[in-house]
Amino acid sequence: MAQEVGTGLGQCEILFRPLPQGEGNYPVKLDFWKVTDDPVEKVVTLIAKRVLGEGERVLVVADDPGQRAAISRALWQAGPESFLAHGEADAPGAARQPIVLSADLAAVNGASHVILADGKFRECSGFARVFLLFAPEAAAAARAAWRAQDGRDGVERAYFAQENGRWVKKG
């Protein structure tokens, strides 16, 4: 089911599905988001709001401490009615945070979703949904990561691009 997920980003229709309950092997949803119109931290905030709205936790990965700081500021400034609680992975109480910012893939908060905010693809086992956010200059690496998933069992891929302030599913 498609649902509108963004305010301030124009009309956004992105597929979100609740995680299945119970035991079993479920496919990993791997989303490639080509970010062109908005800063990455704004897109992270959009995704994080939606993930938290589904009752899940999120890990945001970026190697650069400066990028993590910009994402943190965006999460703080998400609006008075929509402040998004978060913390750094190495900070006290990180395990209680619904959103954790980290340079590593360790989900100290038990996150089921991970956002690769720095545009670098990493193998992300143990997550139900992975979001790779990448700039146009990183498109070749994103295409290589996409092709590397060909034929893998249990991986559902989707590709989204921004067009005139909207997120459009391209593949």
**Is 127 contained in some domain?**
yes
Coil vs helix vs strand at 57:
coil
**Is 9 contained in some domain?**
no
**Is 150 contained in some domain?**
yes
For residues 72 and 45, is the Cβ–Cβ distance under 8 A? no
29-63 pLDDT, tens digit per residue, is: 999 999 999 999 999 999 999 999 999 999 999 99
**Is 123 contained in some domain?**
yes
Neighbours of 82 (CB within 10 A): 13
Q: Which residues contact 12 (CB under 8 A, 6 or more apart)?
A: 4, 5, 6, 46, 166, 167
**Is 104 contained in some domain?**
yes
Range of the domain at 57: 28-88+95-169
84-141 pLDDT, tens digit per residue, is: 899 999 999 999 999 999 999 999 999 999 999 999 999 988 999 999 999 999 999 9
**Is 125 contained in some domain?**
yes
Number of domains in the chain: 1
- Can you give the pTM of this predicted structure? 0.84
CATH number at residue 164: 3.40.50.10110
